[in-house]
């Protein structure tokens, strides 16, 4: 791979990682500021029982915060990219489930300040974030493989 092309991939990957990390940081901080409202939102989704809902509401904001910090700082990138892709996949499924079941509740992605019901636009926005997370992971893996020494004899 040419050095200019490699530079473009690395820069694009870094921008995607840092942007996604900043979004996760903001989301986690919003949820940590209003933990009871977030717990109520988890229960409103009606996807899990009360004990698992309590566990999710207690862990998810901290997970978003840690993964966000890892993406912004570049620490443990591969793990952070895998976790962020997994979280975006779950978030997309949860919103799609709400839309399908016509639950008529808000997202609560950034705390209780969000109003209005989840629409197809919200589902598409989250699916776009999933696509961006997977793209950042793919770019990271591509760069990682390109920069690894060859084990085959020449």
DSSP string, 85-114: HHHHHHHHHHHHHHHHHT------BTBTT-
Picking from 39-48, 52-61, 69-78, which range would have the lowest pLDDT averaged per residue?
39-48
Write out pLDDT tens, residues 79-119: 999 999 999 999 999 889 888 887 777 777 776 656 678 88
Is there a contact between 84 and 67 (Cβ–Cβ < 8 Å)?
A: yes
Residues of the chain with pLDDT > 70, as a percent, come to 86
Region 49-58 average pLDDT: 92
**With bands split at pLDDT 50, 70 and 90, how would you rate the model's confidence at 152?**
very low
| Dist. CA 25–CA 63, nearest whole Å | 9
Of 54, 64, 57, 58, the closest CA to residue 28 belongs to 64
Assess whether pLDDT exceeds 50 at residue 58: yes
* pLDDT value for 47: 87
Q: How far is CA 2 from CA 83, 127, 139, 151, in A?
A: 30, 32, 15, 20
Give pTM, 2 decimals.
0.81
3-state secondary structure of 148: coil
Residues of the chain with pLDDT > 90, as a percent, come to 38
| Dist. CA 143–CA 55, nearest whole Å | 36
* pLDDT value for 151: 53
Region 33-40 average pLDDT: 89
Q: Domain-by-domain residue ranges, the chain?
A: 8-145
* pLDDT value for 8: 73
* pLDDT value for 56: 92
């Amino acid at each position: 791979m040419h050095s200019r092309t490699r530079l473009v991939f690395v820069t694009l990957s870094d921008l995607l990682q840092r942007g996604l990390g900043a979004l996760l940081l903001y989301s986690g901080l919003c949820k940590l500021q209003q933990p009871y409202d977030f717990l109520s939102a988890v229960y409103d989704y009606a996807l899990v029982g009360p004990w698992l809902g309590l566990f999710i509401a207690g862990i998810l904001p901290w997970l978003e915060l840690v993964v966000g910090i890892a993406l912004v700082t570049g620490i443990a990138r591969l793990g952070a990219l895998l976790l962020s892709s997994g979280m975006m996949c779950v978030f997309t499924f949860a919103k799609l489930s709400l839309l399908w079941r016509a639950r008529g509740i808000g997202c609560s992605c950034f705390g209780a300040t969000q109003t209005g019901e989840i629409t197809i636009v919200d589902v598409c926005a989250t699916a776009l974030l999933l696509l961006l997370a997977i793209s950042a992971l793919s770019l990271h893996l591509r760069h990682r493989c390109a920069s690894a020494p060859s084990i085959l004899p020449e």
